[in-house]
Chain A
Amino acid sequence: MRAAIAAMVLLGVAVVGLQALDDRARAALVPQEAAADLLYVQSPDVLTRASLSYTALVADLYWIRAVQYYGGMRLSNGEKKYDLLYPLLDLTTSLDPRFDIAYRFGAIFLAEDYPGGAGRPDLAIALLQKGLRAQPGKWQFAEDVGFVHYWWLHDPTTAADWFNRAGDMPGAAEWLKPLAAVTLAEGSNRESSRRLWREIGRTAEVEWFRRQADFRLKQLDAMDGIDVLERAVQMYRERAGAYPASWPDLIRAGLVRRIPADPTGLPFRLDASNGKVTLDPASSLNPLPAIEQAR
């Protein structure tokens, strides 16, 4: 018996070792990126039929794959390609047309600016509209379409239209109609963006949305901070005749009290050549969205 156990341990170690060697040899044969970019079944119809009575489970597997694909690409150091993101989300939602979060998160993954996301708000809208065709009463999808128009396409008129449509749906949140009016009146500015994110954060059922709202509000605070600091830099220039070389110059001039930091705690960067204030490149708030301040 002991000899058998020893032999099994030895063979087990050999198997693991050979597998590791084989992985290296295989990496030379098949580049990892090519392997990751493989989607064996592309047709939702074929996959739905082949899943028999386990479509929901197969949808879950594709959803997990979509999340892993997006996360893996976002965190990778190489070239980020999101080519498979939409097909994966399309398959997931075809297999389980009521998989609400796949539409909502999927739209965020697709709409987010490259390289943080696929930079495809058009596909995000297509996915959400597919969701609306499957569940015409789902006001959250209409709200999300409005949001993509507002935040990523900077089109407040169409956004207001979608917020209105969402507000007309049964059971919709009561803040959608006022939001539509504000969006239409004020256009795309930081204050209406802040209001939108506050409502999303306040009413979010999923923790991820709350975190996302918190992150976006921090970005907006950072943008406000940058505006205040750039005004201080201009005041310094008017007094001293040159841009400050560093933050201590502004502190000595009494224009700021301490080295200013963004909401994550990292100090802002000051460009002495043109007086521009930016986030530290290491700040998790990068890149800041292209929302203008109301003048």
Chain B
Amino acid sequence: MKVIGLVAVNVFKESVRDKVLYSIVAFAVMLMSTTYLIGQLTAGQDIKIIKDLGLASISIFGLLIAIFIGIGLVWKEVEKRSIYTLLPKPMRRQEFLLGKYFGLVLTLVINIAVMTAAFYLVLALMRLLEPGIDAVSAAPATDAAMLKAIALVVVELMLVTAIALFFSTFSSPFLSALLTAGLWVAGHFNSDLRNFGAVVASPTLAQLTRAMYYVLPNFSAFDVKSQVVHAQAVPASYVALTCAYGLTYIALVLVGAAAIFARRDFK
């Protein structure tokens, strides 16, 4: 456990050195400048659009970090040949891999936490400057329910990170990025696979697509951004169930990644 923690902290420090946290600055600048612009461009829908934009940006910035850093976690150690000095140390390969994973998750969580704080700060400022703004939108400007959407974004990104790490244990960074992004996109069309059986004549094909529906990660389940912006109820039980699904899937992917990494020959 201690080893995993040490590797994780090291990954976080490395991401700070690699200026990953600059994304927070980019997010804050973008949100502040957009807040001003949006007021000029839309017809009284500033709050809704700022919320949509803020939540989507948190998700997109996180996704880019998860994919592009996730795919390099193992590959960089191999490329720099530092893996040869790390593996003989009193540390199991699985611990090394999990340390890498939790390090990136730590980076992501800190990134998202700061972005969320900046997001709420912008909304609070808008509320302060335009006191009647809450009456115009479906939900209050600084609605705490948005944290549910952000929590699900965190779990979604943890899953993306796990998938990126999984592919990076046996594939090149380019291919890993392509496969992870492909799986993320396919995961959003998952519900179509479930209904595919209704439009195909072959029962085998229908069963196959239904099986794929359960095997592929269902990324669309993590998206409740629109619901929280429109003040629709998102039950805590749904959030808990989706988190449980995400964490179980992450465990599955990490076990697979660890199994592959344990057998990989670095000679």
Contact for A53 among B43, B48, B222, CB less than 8 A: B222
B44 touches A63 (CB 8 A): no
B226 touches A60 (CB 8 A): no
Contact for B56 among A54, A63, A99, A105, CB less than 8 A: A54
B45 touches A96 (CB 8 A): no
Residue-wise, chain B 214-237 has the 8 Å CB interface mask toward A (1 for contact) of: 000001101101100110100000
Nearest chain-A residue to B219 (Cβ)? A53
Distance of A135 Cα from B222 Cα, bound (Å): 23
Nearest chain-B residue to A49 (Cβ)? B189
B188 contact set on A, CB distance < 8 A: 52-53
Contact for B185 among A52, A55, A63, A207, CB less than 8 A: A52
Distance of A100 Cα from B56 Cα, bound (Å): 20
A205 touches B135 (CB 8 A): yes
A54 contact set on B, CB distance < 8 A: 56, 59-60
Distance of A53 Cα from B41 Cα, bound (Å): 24
Interface residues of A in 50-67 (CB under 8 A from B): 52-57, 59-60, 63-64, 67
Nearest chain-B residue to A66 (Cβ)? B43
Expressed in whole angstroms, the minimum distance between the Cβ of A125 and any Cβ of chain B is 20
Binding site for A on B (CB under 8 A): 41-45, 48-49, 52-53, 55-56, 59-60, 135-136, 138, 185, 188-189, 219-220, 222-223, 225-226, 229-230, 232
B42 touches A206 (CB 8 A): no
Nearest chain-B residue to A55 (Cβ)? B226
A56 touches B42 (CB 8 A): no
B41 touches A105 (CB 8 A): no
Please judge, given known A-B contacts A52-B185, A56-B229, whether A63 and B59 are in contact too, CB under 8 Å: no
B55 contact set on A, CB distance < 8 A: 56
B43 touches A105 (CB 8 A): yes
A60 touches B52 (CB 8 A): yes
Classify chain A's interface size.
20 to 34
A67 touches B225 (CB 8 A): no
Contact for B44 among A57, A99, A101, CB less than 8 A: A101
A53 touches B220 (CB 8 A): yes
Q: Does A68 have its Cβ within 8 Å of any Cβ on chain B?
A: yes
Q: Does A98 have its Cβ within 8 Å of any Cβ on chain B?
A: yes
Contact for B225 among A53, A105, A208, CB less than 8 A: A53
Nearest chain-B residue to A64 (Cβ)? B41
Distance of A101 Cα from B137 Cα, bound (Å): 10
B43 touches A60 (CB 8 A): no
Residue-wise, chain A 193-211 has the 8 Å CB interface mask toward B (1 for contact) of: 0000000000001111000
Q: Please, could you name 29 A-B residue pairs with CB atoms under 8 Å apart, sorted by A?
A: A49-B189, A53-B59, A53-B188, A53-B222, A53-B225, A54-B56, A54-B59, A56-B225, A57-B52, A57-B53, A57-B56, A59-B52, A60-B49, A63-B49, A64-B41, A64-B49, A67-B41, A96-B226, A98-B138, A98-B230, A99-B48, A100-B138, A101-B44, A101-B45, A205-B136, A206-B44, A206-B136, A207-B44, A208-B43
